[in-house]
Amino acid sequence: MSVLTLISRNKMFNGSHERYRHFSDANQCEMTFAVYLPPQALQGYRVPVLYWLSGLTCTDENFSTKSGAQRFAAQWGIALVMPDTSPRGAGVADDDAYNLGQGAGFYLDATRAPWAANYQMYSYIVHELPALIEAHFPVNGQRSIAGHSMGGHGALQIALKNPGRYAAVSAFAPIANPSQTPWGQKAFAAYLGDNPELWAQYDSTELAKTAVKKLPVLIDQGSADEFYPHDLQAQAFVNAARGNGFNVQFNLREGYGHGYYFIATFIDSHIEFHADALGL
């Protein structure tokens, strides 16, 4: 089990927002994550966890400082865990483009060089990070998962492949059909090669067509999002999931864009959605 090094700790809504660094066995490099412990967790109670996966170019700090989610996590008694979006460091493969390499891990396990040496974000999010959280913090083993853009892609495909691990999944403006969109095609080709079977394993729309367990899904999409629908394709996922019997709540939010003004406006409804799924 990794040793956690505290980077910072700040009181927030009577809870504690904390950042940590540790060496990741999955990614073979130093990783950073943040955790918000609601006041209930500081009062001796074990609480459920909502994992938040951020989008392209982000770190754990974008959601932490811009979303206002901690206010609602404190209200419902939910811990928030916010990992970085990719491996980082001088020895970690990178690319000059914003949508590949550091800051663009796509929450998959890369199979091609040079990426495979460090880019094992799927294993990190699904297995290594929860093991750390459940060993070091006052949580009760209940989990839910959410994300934005690239992180929405990560949350959806991870939840669909591991439905017993999560009570529900939600996403803001997810890259929901990545094998059919430019961002996803570029990342999949680099990280996984030209094998369509591997691509389908990380494509939420494809996974939704055959998923057996139907966990609750909430998606918010801004109508004024500059990347909608071309790079995102939320409707393709919604159609596939509903066609397979999923209860998908889909909201097209008139006039909203892709960024954190949008997320901050509706994050309360997402926290409440997960609270309900977690039985709070």
C-alpha–C-alpha distance, residues 9 and 42, integer Å: 13
Q: Which of 17, 22, 258, 270 is catalytic?
A: 258
How far apart (Å, rounded) are the C-alpha atoms in residues 88 and 30? 7
Question: Position 144: which residue type?
Answer: S
Greatest extent of the chain over all pairs of C-alpha atoms, in Å: 51
Identified catalytic residue from 2, 54, 144, 149: 149
Tell me the CA distances in angstroms from 106 to 167, 184, 188, 189, one per residue in order. Answer: 22, 8, 9, 12
* Residue whose tokens read 């929860």: 130
Ordered strands of the 29-37 beta sheet: 5-12, 15-24, 29-37, 79-83, 47-53, 139-148, 169-172, 217-222, 248-253
Q: Choose the catalytic residue: 84, 94, 220, 225.
A: 225
Write the single-letter amino acid at 238: V
Residue 148 annotated among the catalytic residues of the structure: no
- Decide if 270 is catalytic: no
The amino acid present at 145, given as its one-letter code, is I
Q: Is 95 a catalytic residue?
A: no
Using an 8 Å Cβ cutoff, are 123 and 26 in contact?
A: yes
> Do the Cβ atoms of 82 and 37 come closer than 8 Å?
no
Q: Which residue numbers are catalytic?
A: 149, 225, 258
